[in-house]
Amino acid sequence: MSDINHEEAARRLRDAYSSGAIPPLRDWLDPTDADGAYAVQTINTRFWQADGRRIIGRKAGLTAKAVQAQLGVNQPDFGVLFADMEIADGGSLDPARALQPKAEAEIAFVLGADLPNADTTAEQVAAAVKSVHAAIEIVDSRIADWKITFADTVADNGSSAFFVLGEGKPLPGVDLEGAAMEMTFDGAVVSTGVGAAALGNPLNAAAWLAQTLAARGEPLKAGDILLAGALGPMVALTPGIRVHASVAGIGTVGFTYDKD
């Protein structure tokens, strides 16, 4: 696809934030065109940076094999985390800021050292981690009815929207693979999972991020937040609910999907 198509796809996605979800991008992006989709994502990332938004980390998506199979791909994807996407633990998200949001519980890392190499290992990621957190990602799609292809979600910044981090703790001694997750809406369990759902270990997802971004000349830096992928099914949000997640051995996190 041409650069003109990439610019048009990027513009349509930006406009969707305020004017509502749009049809899939098939007229501008082939459903499996990873390079084109990341080109669209980059156009909008640079647009938003020029508009004053600040990058504070990255998210890994499609870390579950079942979701990869659903979209016909064999690797994760990534999106950018901006500072204005973070919601305070225990805070609230105004439904007017979202289109068709869903919540998923994750494990997140905050880096204490740079990860500049394209051959970064999971062990090197672990050595660079400053703290590990229970997290909730609020994913959203600017594509109507979530009828997404791989290219749609990549171009749409990994279908990202907002995130919440619980209190951090040191990584040594934490069982990431076996960490059981439970997410509740108003106290009722709506999703369960385990750390191994994220590419076998959330550190594997973080290593993939580090490798991919270093190869692109955008290496992860100390202080970056990394969301390592969903541990269980994502669940659609409805206004007024209280969302809470616990990840065994790591901590808890929550927010209310309602106005302040």
Q: Which domains does the chain have, with CATH numbers?
A: 55-256 (3.90.850.10)
Instruction: Output the six-digit token pair for 197.
Output: 């759902």
59 within 8 A of 81, measured Cβ to Cβ: yes
DSSP state of 125: H
3-state secondary structure of 66: helix
pLDDT in tens, the chain (260 residues): 568 999 999 999 999 999 999 999 999 999 989 999 999 999 999 999 999 999 999 999 988 876 777 677 778 999 999 999 999 999 999 999 999 999 999 999 999 999 999 999 999 999 999 999 999 999 999 999 999 999 999 999 999 999 999 999 999 999 999 999 999 999 999 999 999 999 999 999 999 999 999 999 999 999 999 999 999 989 999 999 999 999 999 999 999 999 87
Please name every residue paired with 170 in a beta bridge, in sequence order, or none if there are none. none
CA atoms within 13 A on the CB side of 95: 11
Q: Is 164 exposed, middle or buried (0-12, 13-18, 19+ CB in 10 A)?
A: buried
CA 190 to chain centre: 19
Residues making up the chain, counted from first to last = 260
Rounded to two decimals, the pTM is 0.95
Instruction: Output the six-digit token pair for 31.
Output: 């459903």
Question: φ and ψ at 17, to 5 degrees?
Answer: -55, -35
